[in-house]
Structure 1
């Protein structure tokens, strides 16, 4: 008896594959047996399968039932064995789903998607960034990397990865090699700006070493550290403290200017900043400027170059990155 109990415990309690395989075998085998024993009651194999399934799941519609002694005897076997095995299989399935959900909440699953955004470092700034991404691009998936024990945010398009972002295995788990962009936020728990930037530099160095093609945007505490991040081939920089301070000073001298910043930084208010592709009919910047203006958009820059008004007659290069200011409706019409 002890040996039988050990075998049952090994193959049917702990072995999920064994449970599901045996359940499948019992259902199929019982369907074949019932059709052989009761050919008039179950003229088709599917009828026998339907009876077995409604029996082992304890639904029991009563539309089919055995009428011969042999059929009823085998039905007793299904009651005693099939129902128990099916219940165990369903329990294991529910348990597996719960374990999968727990692993996802704890950031233990590997992300398999492509062309996603990776955000490193959880903070209020990261929260606002994720909200901005999910609201402006509802279909874009975001992978958040941090060391929190469970995910700090619940959203169908946000996937959490728990781990050290400076370690290659964590970045691979986030499938960063197939991501289109990465945003690295500074660690607000580190009060020394040099140490905070040092940690950020270590992370972004790991990212750029693993995926040199990825577009990286990094939050930096001190402006003098930019040269170190340029050496690490970072694409964009955001100076957290200096940016806020400069905006405050400019608003003091130019009253109302913060409204312009707000419109450009948030999709919820006024006009927005968008990137558009160069059209074939736009040979010069003036062509693009006039064509966009007729549709309600204003061309303001090519990449980091804001001096469009000084070179309207120059030809637009093929690799130009044209930025415009317009409403979302106008941008969608242009696209």
Structure 2
């Protein structure tokens, strides 16, 4: 807070704005003291009106100073106002232009919540933009022309930060802590000196340092690096080409299965959607849910990632457990003891209870 105020007071346009307000206040007060009864100044508002009109050199002429002191004040206000308004207007225009240039160059901090953050960029980024319904922030060392192309070819709300996703300051500017999801793509080999999977690992470590609880999906190139990425905190790891291999393997089973899976993945619309379960729906079984939602095709049940805290496993009636909790609270130590990973149950049994699930993946009719 203190740092933000210091930065604000260091801005030229802010100093000029304060001086402008000070000039209006002092000039109005002096005019009110010097001119009562002579020009019909009955309250401070009329004095303020005269000052604003005089400073901006509009000069309506409805209020004219009658005393010598009032006229001298008018001359001072006009001369000061002409220069001040010109400088203030120029600085404001410069500030707005600078902000626009910074936004185009990917140097401006975003102000979002519940968005998607894409770290690094490759050709798969285009598909993510087509499918997502969230505002997107891209953090990558992109060329200006490429980002302009991205903006031109997508109707989504897209923001860009030009820099290394490994650096914490860029992640903070992207409001990573407030994001709904982060996706780390494998970087273009031609633009880096290290191994792509190593770059991904460094980025993941930076993400987990800043936002330990948000879901992070990671793309890597080499299968042998998957275990390292998972240990570093990735929720899900996709190996480049793995999905393609699995898809092609379905040809040996049936060409119809291959065609179905291919169309499902490459459809221009979002065939697969997610529906959060209401309190009433959580009381149902899978069979009852399907019978009550015939307008959709339910496919799977989902459990979100959840953390288990010490207070959830301790007994409130046990003095020892209360003592343990008090020690943790007094030391200010995080009392998280474990976490439950996201889970998807595909085509569950009809009698499966929905009580422990959070959402349903379904396919809408087209």
Q: Shared fold by TM > 0.5? A: yes
What corresponds to 1:324 in structure 2? Answer: 362
Q: Show structure 1 runs of 5+ residues with no match.
A: 1-13, 329-335
Query: Aligned partners of 1:94, 1:251: CA distance in 2, in Å?
Result: 62
Query: Aligned partners of 1:178, 1:229: CA distance in 2, in Å?
Result: 23
- TM-score, normalised to structure 1, is 0.74
Aligned pairs for 1:102-141 (under 5 A) are: 102-133=101-132, 136-137=133-134, 141=135
Q: 1:275 to 1:186 in 2, by over 3 A?
A: farther
Per the TM alignment, residue 145 of structure 1 is displaced from its structure 2 partner at its CA by 0.8
Secondary structure of the 1:152 match is helix
What corresponds to 1:159 in structure 2? Answer: 159
What corresponds to 1:306 in structure 2? Answer: 346
Q: Answer yes or no: is the 8 Å Cα contact 2:121–2:188 preserved in 1.
A: no
What corresponds to 1:46 in structure 2? Answer: 45
What corresponds to 1:31 in structure 2? Answer: 28
Query: What is the root-mean-square deviation in Å for CA atoms of aligned residues?
Result: 3.5
Aligned pairs for 1:84-99 (under 5 A) are: 84-99=83-98
1:204 aligns with 2:201: no
Q: Deviations over 1:60-99 (max 9, x none)?
A: 3444333554433322222222221222122222222333
Secondary structure of the 1:74 match is helix
Q: What is the number of residues matched between the two proteins?
A: 304
Higher relative contact order (CA 8 A, sep 6+): 2
Q: Show structure 2 runs of 5+ residues with no match.
A: 1-10, 302-342
Q: Answer yes or no: is the 8 Å Cα contact 2:230–2:237 preserved in 1.
A: no
Secondary structure of the 2:160 match is strand
What corresponds to 2:336 in structure 1? Answer: none
Secondary structure of the 2:284 match is coil
Query: Aligned partners of 2:191, 2:175: CA distance in 1, in Å?
Result: 31
What corresponds to 2:285 in structure 1? Answer: 284
Secondary structure of the 2:113 match is coil
Query: Aligned partners of 2:166, 2:20: CA distance in 1, in Å?
Result: 46
Q: Answer yes or no: is the 8 Å Cα contact 2:274–2:359 preserved in 1.
A: no
Query: Aligned partners of 2:35, 2:127: CA distance in 1, in Å?
Result: 66
Per the TM alignment, residue 247 of structure 1 is displaced from its structure 2 partner at its CA by 4.0
1:145 aligns with 2:139: yes
Query: Aligned partners of 2:157, 2:143: CA distance in 1, in Å?
Result: 19
Q: Deviations over 1:98-157 (max 9, x none)?
A: 333333333334445433321111344324423543xx34xxx43221123659255894
